[in-house]
Structure 1
Amino acid sequence: MERQGNAPPDDIPVVLAREGHHGPVIHAANRKARMDGVNPGARVVDMRAICPELQVEYADPAGDRAVLDRLVLWARRFCPWTVRDGDDGIILDTTGSDHLWGGEAAMLVEIETQLALLGLSARLAVAPTWGAAWALARFGPVRSICKEDEAFFKLGPLPVAGLRLNADTVLLLRRLGLKTIGAVMDVPRLSLTRRFVKAGLEANPLMRLDQALGKLAEPVASVEARPPIRATARLAEPIFDPSPHLPELCEDLCEQLKVAGLGCRALHLVVYRTDGDVAEVTVRTSAPTRDPAHLHSLFRDKLERINPGFGFDLITLAAGGVEEVEERQTRLDGDSDDDLHLSRLIDRLSAKFGPRSVTHPVLHQSHVPERAEGALAALAKAPADQTEVTKERPLRLLDHPEEVRVLYAVPEGPPAQFIWRRQTCRVARYAGPERIAPEWWKDRPGTRLRDYFKVEDASGRRLWLYREGVLGDGRGAEPRWFVHGFFG
């Protein structure tokens, strides 16, 4: 799958992988990969043996869950009660809502169409219970409608995995010869009750069967969307400058944030003109805040961008990027310091010179030094999965490694003497090597490995050198030496 978000062709087997106990395992597979025998849960190495042209990308489960949570709220357009179902589904309680779309069949078509416009494919099912809809959506037809009196017959041919059981229970039922839900229905309940009497919900086929058939209640506990936090100023007469009303709007908005225990990372100022048009100005912060004076200062020199037209009579100030904020006591008297914090300085510089003018370093998952660190706009939220650096690295890393001319080299060690920046350096002591191999999924074929050394010259200067390649590795002539950074 291309990083730009373009979907791969349908005739190319593609899988998403995640780390397992014995190497990467298949997390998800497209239709072509499944047709070629690639199964989720299997090791990537084993699947490559049966499908050599398999393309592998690493999954992002946390990102998938975040997108699914947003889709849960997006699905409120079809009914008022929606909830995330595991890591790959959404449950909608459409009771009393389907007639608004022309019936259940028309509603499914509309849902599928809207998801397709978002670039998503889906398997849809309507059933009287959560469990029946879950089973039909995953193991039934692409679009399935099950009436109140049809659940018993439509669930029967489906595999026992459709009862939302864990893998061990499914394996046990199959060993007992119970491969379908219908087979579980035909077994006397007393026989299964004795075996699963102490099992939990995900391991008890009888409880799951009762939920699917409606004999055991399973209500949809919908997650409520957080109400928007907004301050509004309605004006009796049209005006041309919102500046006089902005301090009061900031005070009102920050008071709402304080009551809710929240802070915001963005403010959206919208003015509604008398001719029906709107104008908007947005400011952002590097950390969640609810300081009205600081937020007001970020609009300095930005309000002049608003085209008032014939004037506006409605102003709204809405909080964006809302997060929970904890009160911190920074002084013994219970108050907090009013000095200029670093985050406020970053906000003001970014507001004045642009959001990309101030950056901060972030770590990436790469053992190649120049790829392990990047720059991110200070106003952007840092990714949660920051890589932990466990090895000593230089305080200063050169943007481009500088080649040195070796006068005398120690076997399997660093140069005893070399010329760098027209100066002759004699190595007094060293530590290493630390070998860093090329990243085969990024580097070109033939890229040579590196052996890094921490060296100290006769003047006490500590450098980070590396030797590119090994003599006789078949990837070039003599190894080359480079200075890559400085310690201290």
Structure 2
Amino acid sequence: MNRHGSAPPDDVPLVLAREGHHGPVVHATNRTARAMGINKGARIVDMRAICPELRVEYADIAGDRRALDNLVLWARRWCPWTVRDGEDGLILDTTGSDHLMGGEAAMLIEMETQLSLLGLTSRLAVGPTWGAAWALARFGPVRSICGGDEASWKLGALPVDALRLNGETLLLLRRLGLKTIGAVMDVPRLSLTRRFVKAALDANPLMRLDQALGKTPEPVASVNAAPRIHVQAKLAEPIFDPTSYLPDLCEDLCEKLAHTGQGCRQLHLIVYKTDGEVSSITVATSATTRDPNHLHGLFRDKVEKINPGYGFDLITLAAGGVEPLRLVQNSLDGGSDDDLHLSRLVDRLSARFGPRAVTRPILHQSHIPERAEGQIAALATMDRPQIATPKERPIRLFDHPEEVRVLYAVPEGPPAQFIWRRQTYRVARYAGPERIAPEWWKDRPGTRLRDYFKVEDATGRRIWLYREGLFEDGRGGDPRWFVHGCFA
């Protein structure tokens, strides 16, 4: 399509140009231009001499790359493993997925149909390996299907260009008279090994041949691959709101999870739009679950964040953070009282207000009170074990200790009377001290130790009070007193 969004007629030779060393060169061609002998990499000036009616548009290489990356995600409507192949192709690992669409032939027809609705012309092939599919899609017949036992003879008839080799190696092979893949296969392997033993992958015909025939593995390493357990809803017409389909999708997904004895901690709702884009939202849980009603409730007020574009015709609900799930009996009748689970309240609050709005405490390896405890999102998993605290700590610990003014000090123990927050407190009883030394590997030189006291005033209020420093400890002046927290 051109910059105005309208596709040119099929009988018009069209090329996309990019800047070369000696002026614009051909970056891509349509079928009509290729039929007239215009090849990629040729100078535009030379091609205009061959074809005066040639139509030239400048390529947006960065934009094409972004569009192809979006198409990688959009192509997961057929299988979870997809990856970009060069600058103009996609590789899909459809193992185990083709039977869901009626077989490989029906799957290719479906792919060609959906791509044509996006205005894209495609050449499709199914092969036992990445290399075989690449070769057949570019040099074989339209919609090729090649079984594992057919690779040798189907690839043998293709030109040597189908081996994904660089230009210098292809030129060398042609000079040697090896113009087809079959001709390369007929050459004694030892002779080719001696010639290309130190060559790189794109310059080694033996390695490329082994990849195409499946003798050397070449897996599809998909980036951000879709989760393994998922369900889909294919729509006859594009829609703009997936809400009505969510209950059934959650039910179907939880049935799959129950069949495998697992639960999930994340759900990914993905819609595949008719313009080739993909939009998604994710919800998370604080504990592994497979309750469809609870999972469906997490999408409340979140579906509106999906950008439907011009509509979407496929909805996918995928499970993330899949883990084994054991059913626990917590009632006398043998069932489970799920309404009492705190995790469900955490999930609903986090879904409503955001994951950062609901937190939980986490313990750290430190004797310093303000360092021994932190806060993390309640939905986050623990990456370290909880460390038990041997000492009693206040139910409320201040972020920053608040200094108090001592009115009546005593030689040992806490002050008999002090002022805190403009109020005077008289100590009725106390317990302590609990001495906490500085952490020399973290604290600055000169940091003073602390002596903590649990004090109770005449009204029964219990306060955690500490003295910072000792008399004549050589680390400052007189000791200072601070309130660090309050007990229940």
- The TM-score, its normalising length taken from structure 1, stands at 0.52
2:252 is matched with 252
Q: Using the alignment, how far apart are the partners of 1:273 and 1:226 within structure 2?
A: 17
* Corresponding residue SS for 1:315: strand
Q: Using the alignment, how far apart are the partners of 1:310 and 1:459 within structure 2?
A: 68
Q: 1:483: Cα distance to partner? A: 1.3
Q: Using the alignment, how far apart are the partners of 2:302 and 2:457 within structure 1?
A: 54
Residues 456 and 310 (structure 1), Cα distance of their counterparts in 2 relative to 1, 3 Å cut:
closer
Q: 1:478: Cα distance to partner? A: 0.6
Q: Using the alignment, how far apart are the partners of 1:417 and 1:279 within structure 2?
A: 64
Q: 1:338: Cα distance to partner? A: 4.8
Query: Counterpart of 1:291 in structure 2: which amino acid?
Result: D
1:237 corresponds to 2:227 = no
2:469 is matched with 469
Q: Using the alignment, how far apart are the partners of 1:250 and 1:241 within structure 2?
A: 16
* Corresponding residue SS for 1:231: strand
Q: Using the alignment, how far apart are the partners of 1:475 and 1:448 within structure 2?
A: 7
2:290 is matched with 290
Query: Counterpart of 1:252 in structure 2: which amino acid?
Result: D
Residues 227 and 403 (structure 1), Cα distance of their counterparts in 2 relative to 1, 3 Å cut:
closer
1:302 is matched with 302
Check conservation: 2:230, 2:316, Cα contact below 8 A: yes
1:428 corresponds to 2:432 = no
CA deviation vs aligned residue, 1:343-393 (integer Å, no higher than 9, x gap): 222211111111111111111111111111111111111333211110111
2:14 is matched with none
CA deviation vs aligned residue, 1:124-157 (integer Å, no higher than 9, x gap): xxxxxxxxxxxxxxxxxxxxxxxxxxxxxxxxxx
Q: Using the alignment, how far apart are the partners of 1:459 and 1:330 within structure 2?
A: 42
Q: Using the alignment, how far apart are the partners of 1:480 and 1:463 within structure 2?
A: 16
Residues 424 and 307 (structure 1), Cα distance of their counterparts in 2 relative to 1, 3 Å cut:
closer
2:341 is matched with 341
2:313 is matched with 313
Check conservation: 2:267, 2:282, Cα contact below 8 A: yes
1:269 is matched with 269
The aligned runs of 1:83-482 (5 Å cut-off) are: 228-339=228-339, 341-482=341-482
* Corresponding residue SS for 1:236: strand
CA deviation vs aligned residue, 1:414-471 (integer Å, no higher than 9, x gap): 1122222333333232222111111223222221111111122233322211100111
* Corresponding residue SS for 1:365: coil
Residues 351 and 428 (structure 1), Cα distance of their counterparts in 2 relative to 1, 3 Å cut:
same
Q: Using the alignment, how far apart are the partners of 1:439 and 1:391 within structure 2?
A: 18
Q: Using the alignment, how far apart are the partners of 2:422 and 2:236 within structure 1?
A: 75
Tell me which stretches of 4 or more aligned residues in structure 1 moved more than 6 Å: none
Q: Using the alignment, how far apart are the partners of 1:300 and 1:227 within structure 2?
A: 22
Residues 347 and 467 (structure 1), Cα distance of their counterparts in 2 relative to 1, 3 Å cut:
same
Residues 387 and 338 (structure 1), Cα distance of their counterparts in 2 relative to 1, 3 Å cut:
closer
Q: 1:250: Cα distance to partner? A: 0.6
Q: Using the alignment, how far apart are the partners of 1:275 and 1:471 within structure 2?
A: 76
Q: 1:275: Cα distance to partner? A: 1.9
Q: Using the alignment, how far apart are the partners of 1:338 and 1:367 within structure 2?
A: 38
Query: Counterpart of 1:355 in structure 2: which amino acid?
Result: P
Query: Counterpart of 1:335 in structure 2: which amino acid?
Result: G
1:104 is matched with none
Q: Using the alignment, how far apart are the partners of 1:461 and 1:353 within structure 2?
A: 35
Q: Using the alignment, how far apart are the partners of 2:394 and 2:240 within structure 1?
A: 55
- The TM-score, its normalising length taken from structure 2, stands at 0.52
CA deviation vs aligned residue, 1:289-323 (integer Å, no higher than 9, x gap): 10101111111121122222222222111111112
Q: 1:281: Cα distance to partner? A: 0.8
Q: Using the alignment, how far apart are the partners of 1:472 and 1:286 within structure 2?
A: 51
Q: How many residue pairs align between the two structures?
A: 267
Q: Using the alignment, how far apart are the partners of 1:477 and 1:358 within structure 2?
A: 42
Q: Using the alignment, how far apart are the partners of 1:227 and 1:380 within structure 2?
A: 19
2:54 is matched with none
Q: Using the alignment, how far apart are the partners of 2:454 and 2:486 within structure 1?
A: 9
Residues 376 and 388 (structure 1), Cα distance of their counterparts in 2 relative to 1, 3 Å cut:
same
Residues 476 and 279 (structure 1), Cα distance of their counterparts in 2 relative to 1, 3 Å cut:
same
* Corresponding residue SS for 2:404: strand
* Corresponding residue SS for 1:415: coil
Query: Counterpart of 1:463 in structure 2: which amino acid?
Result: I
Query: Counterpart of 1:358 in structure 2: which amino acid?
Result: V
Q: Using the alignment, how far apart are the partners of 2:431 and 2:336 within structure 1?
A: 47
Say which one has the larger Rg.
2
CA deviation vs aligned residue, 1:69-126 (integer Å, no higher than 9, x gap): xxxxxxxxxxxxxxxxxxxxxxxxxxxx9x99xxxxxxxxxxxxxxxxxxxxxxxxxx
Residues 238 and 340 (structure 1), Cα distance of their counterparts in 2 relative to 1, 3 Å cut:
farther
Gapped runs of 5+ residues in structure 2?
1-128, 133-224
Q: 1:334: Cα distance to partner? A: 2.5
Q: Using the alignment, how far apart are the partners of 2:390 and 2:257 within structure 1?
A: 39
Q: Percent identity among equivalent residues?
A: 74
Q: Using the alignment, how far apart are the partners of 1:340 and 1:390 within structure 2?
A: 30
Q: Using the alignment, how far apart are the partners of 2:431 and 2:367 within structure 1?
A: 19
Check conservation: 2:227, 2:318, Cα contact below 8 A: no
Q: Using the alignment, how far apart are the partners of 2:307 and 2:456 within structure 1?
A: 62
Q: 1:340: Cα distance to partner? A: 5.8
CA deviation vs aligned residue, 1:219-264 (integer Å, no higher than 9, x gap): xxxxxx9981111122233222222221111111111111222111
Residues 249 and 482 (structure 1), Cα distance of their counterparts in 2 relative to 1, 3 Å cut:
same
Q: Using the alignment, how far apart are the partners of 2:282 and 2:258 within structure 1?
A: 21
1:48 is matched with none
Q: Using the alignment, how far apart are the partners of 2:327 and 2:384 within structure 1?
A: 22
Residues 409 and 279 (structure 1), Cα distance of their counterparts in 2 relative to 1, 3 Å cut:
same
